[in-house]
Amino acid sequence: MRTEIALLSDCSISDLPVVTVGGGSLWKFAFPVPTELLTDHAMEFDWIDCHFDLKKVTPREIEESFEDPFSIRIFPESVSDDSETRYFSLGKTINNRFLFSVFWTDGKAYRVIASRDMTDDEQTFYDRKNAEWL
């Protein structure tokens, strides 16, 4: 099976492959993209009024996990037009801490809703998917 890697700016969400996760829910993946293909602008994060403890997982660690060139972003199959759509990110910090984050974006900034260490199953999924794509 051949997997194509696409930059999100070059494709729509409907162009991404569909994958079944867990109880049969359909999700779409944004595949890892080499850093040399990424644009030069930095990601913007909104840290105002976070509803989780930023001492357990620091904003810097979360940002590093999003900037991980091998991070995995998971999108819901059907995206509504409102700002309530949630996305998942699995990424690794430069200190090899594996983080799972739930976030939303308006296309300009990311707002992280929750972030924690990956479970063993999530870390295995992250490693397996990256091994398949390399």
Q: How far apart are CA 33 and CA 8, in angstroms?
A: 10
**Residues 3-24: tens digit of each pLDDT:** 333 334 344 444 444 444 444 4
Q: Is the Cβ–Cβ distance between 102 and 80 less than 8 Å? A: no
Q: How far apart are CA 14 and CA 77, in angstroms?
A: 8
3-class state of residue 28 by DSSP: strand
Give the model's pLDDT for residue 43. 75
Long-range contacts of 15-22 (CB under 8 A, 24+ apart): 16/75, 18/77, 21/74
Query: What pTM was computed for the model?
Result: 0.67
Reply yes or no on whether the pLDDT at 35 is more than 50. Answer: no
Cα-Cα-Cα-Cα dihedral sign, residues 106, 111, 113, 115: positive
Reply yes or no on whether the pLDDT at 30 is more than 70. Answer: no
Across the chain, mean pLDDT equals 75
